[in-house]
Homo-oligomer: A and B are copies of this chain.
Amino acid sequence: MHSEDTIAAIATAPGEGSISIVRMSGPDSLAIASKILRCAKPPLTERPSNTIVHGFVLDQGRDVDEVLVLVMRAPHTYTGEDVVELQGHGGTTSARRILRCALQAGARPAEPGEFTRRAFLNGRLDLVQAEAVLDLVRSSSDRAAEIALQQLEGRLSQILNSIYDNLVTVAADLAAAMDFPEDELHPQIGVNSTNTLKIVKKYIDRLLATWNEGRILRNGAMVVISGLANVGKSTLLNTLLEYDRAIVSPIPGTTRDFIEENFCLHGIPIRLVDTAGLRPSDCELEREGVRRAREQMLKADLHLYVLDASQPLSPVDAANIADRPREKCVVVLNKADLGLRVAPKDLPGHDAVVTSLLEKKGLDQLRMLMGAKIEISEMPALGEAGSHIAISERHRSLLLKAASEVEAALAMLNSGKEEDQFLASETIRTAVEYLALIIGRVYHDSLLDEIFSRFCIGK
């Protein structure tokens, strides 16, 4: 499985930091590092695993950066191969120059996710764990990070493997029963298989139920601010973000493009979108803004509809509010400081909050209501106590297919016909294949390409 070439990439986030890391993995990591480094003796290639060496990276005799060199030898490394990390001074320029030296000395630029891909190919992680690495890097809340780490540590893999093993056993039992049709255990095998399949089905359903939480934790809940022009939408965005992101002016139509920003509300990552004011306009730019706003609104997990409550409820506002799904909408009755001519009771059946963004009033209530509306259902108990799982879209689509195979197999077993029992065994094997694809017991390069291309380079 071991790769023949050695890959290199910058492993720290770009931008201003104190330390940046260039990481190499592959059989020539140590040799390449030796070529570009000036260190104290003994030479790098003779250093034991898990040691740190001080040195300088050289480019044609000139110092490029002062570094700490981390020597980690196969097989107990992230990738399972020889790994060298060069820790240089922070900033992008140093890291970029060190990487250039490594490439000139014979390393190949790593593809996105290639370090983790190698970890998978070398059996250090299964596919579900490898995916968790990306989730952990991308996690924008404690809750998301915890779920990702548990997945990385193998909690989800354990359940999937248990489902896999149970399905394999059932398929084998059914096949064996057919080989010895006169066996007296025969009826018992049917009952056992049915029971196991029912439990498996329950487990799959429980996993499927975690998908929505996974989706929100991975992608963030999309909250779209809309409303007529000049009612305070951008002010609401700035207030929720707690800094001035959007230009605010008394001139209607100030926000032309839609603005998207991220923040966390009660541990839930939120993608907050401020749309252009919904007013008909002769201006080409503004019309484009309104069109984009409508596009965003269709994808919303929650709508914040803002209106000027110091004015009587306009027919346009009333129509817009009626247009939004009630369970996904909070109406913000803003400008309460100018008097209140629309009250929550005027919008029966809708959740509404009276605010004065100018005086920063009503915000706690708004945040609480937003949290309650987005709040994801509590996790169904799964595996050992305290474990927390949230499957991804990829897991879901394969689990749905597996579930329908399991259901079909159950129906076949219920029919009591012998030929159906044979078919059930085959059907279960199909479900097993879907499980194998999730865990990565079976994979195609195209699947790996798809999964790892979403990683950053250096991971």
Within 8 A of B (CB), among A3-53: 9, 11-21, 23, 50-53
A53 to B247, CA, bound (A): 49
A290 at the interface (CB under 8 A from B): no
Contacts of A72 in B (CB 8 A): 52
Chain A contact residues, majority secondary structure: mixed
The reply to whether A97 and B20 contact each other, CB–CB distance below 8 Å, is no
Within 8 A of B (CB), among A56-73: 62-66, 68, 70, 72
Contacts of A15 in B (CB 8 A): 13-15
| Given A18-B12, A63-B153, A254-B285: A89 touches B52 (CB 8 Å cut-off) | no
The reply to whether B18 and A66 contact each other, CB–CB distance below 8 Å, is no
Contacts of A152 in B (CB 8 A): 66, 89
Contacts of A283 in B (CB 8 A): 251
A115 at the interface (CB under 8 A from B): yes
Closest CB of chain B to A453's CB: distance in Å? 15
The reply to whether A137 and B64 contact each other, CB–CB distance below 8 Å, is no
Which one, B50, B91, B257, contacts A52 given CB within 8 A?
B50
Q: How large is the interface on A (under 10, 10 to 19, 20 to 34, 35 or more residues)?
A: 35 or more
A302 at the interface (CB under 8 A from B): no
A423 at the interface (CB under 8 A from B): no
Closest CB of chain B to A357's CB: distance in Å? 20
The reply to whether A12 and B90 contact each other, CB–CB distance below 8 Å, is yes
Contacts of A139 in B (CB 8 A): 91, 93-94
Q: Which stretch (A143-151, A167-175, A205-213, A327-335) binds chain B?
A: A143-151
A57 to B152, CA, bound (A): 14
Closest CB of chain B to A133's CB: distance in Å? 7
The reply to whether A20 and B16 contact each other, CB–CB distance below 8 Å, is no
A72-105 interface mask toward B, CB cutoff 8 Å, 1 = contact, 0 = none?
A: 1000100000000000011111100100000000
Contacts of A249 in B (CB 8 A): 284-285
The reply to whether B137 and A89 contact each other, CB–CB distance below 8 Å, is yes
Contacts of A247 in B (CB 8 A): 256-257, 285
The reply to whether A251 and B52 contact each other, CB–CB distance below 8 Å, is no
The reply to whether A149 and B63 contact each other, CB–CB distance below 8 Å, is yes
Beyond contacts A13-B17, A91-B137: 14 other A-B pairs, Cβ-Cβ < 8 A, are A11-B90, A12-B20, A15-B15, A16-B138, A17-B456, A18-B115, A18-B458, A18-B459, A63-B149, A66-B153, A91-B138, A91-B145, A93-B142, A249-B284
Listed by A's residue number, 5 A-B pairs whose Cβ atoms lie within 8 Å are: A13-B13, A14-B17, A65-B136, A65-B145, A94-B139
Binding site for B on A (CB under 8 A): 9, 11-21, 23, 50-54, 62-66, 68, 70, 72, 76, 89-94, 97, 115, 133, 136-142, 144-146, 149-150, 152-153, 247, 249, 251, 254, 256-257, 283-285, 386, 456, 458-459
Question: 5 nearest interchain CB pairs?
Answer: A13-B17, A18-B459, A13-B15, A91-B137, A50-B52
